[in-house]
Amino acid sequence: MARLIGERIMLREYRKEDLTCIRKWVNDIEITKYLSNIFLYPHTLNETENFLSSMLQGNSNIKGFIIAEKETEEYIGQIDLIKIDWINRIGTLGIVIGTKDNLSKGYGTESIKLIQEFAFNRLNLHKLDLEVRSYNERAIRCYEKCGFKEEGRIRENFFTDGKYTDTLFMGILKREYENI
């Protein structure tokens, strides 16, 4: 898979040595509380190895990249098209910044802009969409900065920290991306 080069980061291929970095966040509640329910239970080393192996072998439905520091190629996080509907030309985006030290530094925004260019201009997708919990205000601001618009909301469908929260559905069309 081609690398995508930005100003401070690159989106590169998954590597075996990324296992250590993925293991650091995959069971970190401060990172995973913003992700899907698959992180409710601890992930075993075997589960993480299986995920990474499927990415390395290219036999996963997920197609994606490691977010890495441009000069050193050091792991920052992951950005993936977790589902691509080739008939309707829609990709579903998933992203994680794997360390708290790298949050709020613009890596997510730069990564999303790189994947948008790739998805719309190389894959010829018509739309990118995503889900985000309403309490993840940092992510919502990032997505809006990248041109995503709220398309819908399911009220109180996600239980966390003793209360229910909404799930927002956001999307951006290719023509909207071209006008940013």
What pLDDT is stored for residue 170 in this prediction?
98
Token look-up 């190389």 returns 122
Q: Quick one: pLDDT at residue 122?
A: 96
Supply the pLDDT for residue 9: 98
Instruction: Report residues of the chain scoring pLDDT below 50.
Output: none
In a domain, 140, yes or no: no
Beta bridge partners of 165: 158
Supply the pLDDT for residue 36. Answer: 85
Q: How far apart are alpha carbons 49 and 44 in whole angstroms?
A: 9
Q: What is the CATH number of the domain that holds 12?
A: 3.40.630.30
Q: What is the pLDDT of residue 38?
A: 86
The reported pLDDT for the residue numbered 95 is 97
State how many domains the chain has.
1
Is residue 49 domain-resident? Answer: yes
Measure the CA–CA gap between 149 and 134, rounded to whole angstroms.
Answer: 14
- According to the model, what pLDDT value does residue 85 have? 97
In a domain, 25, yes or no: yes
Residues 14/63, Cβ–Cβ less than 8 Å: no
Beta-strand (E) ranges in the chain? 4-5, 9-12, 63-69, 75-85, 90-97, 127-133, 149-160, 163-173
Predicted local confidence at residue 8, as pLDDT: 97
How many CA atoms, within 13 angstroms, populate the side-chain half-sphere of residue 34? 19
Parent domain of 56: 4-126
In a domain, 161, yes or no: no
- Decide: 39 and 32 in contact? Cβ < 8 Å: yes
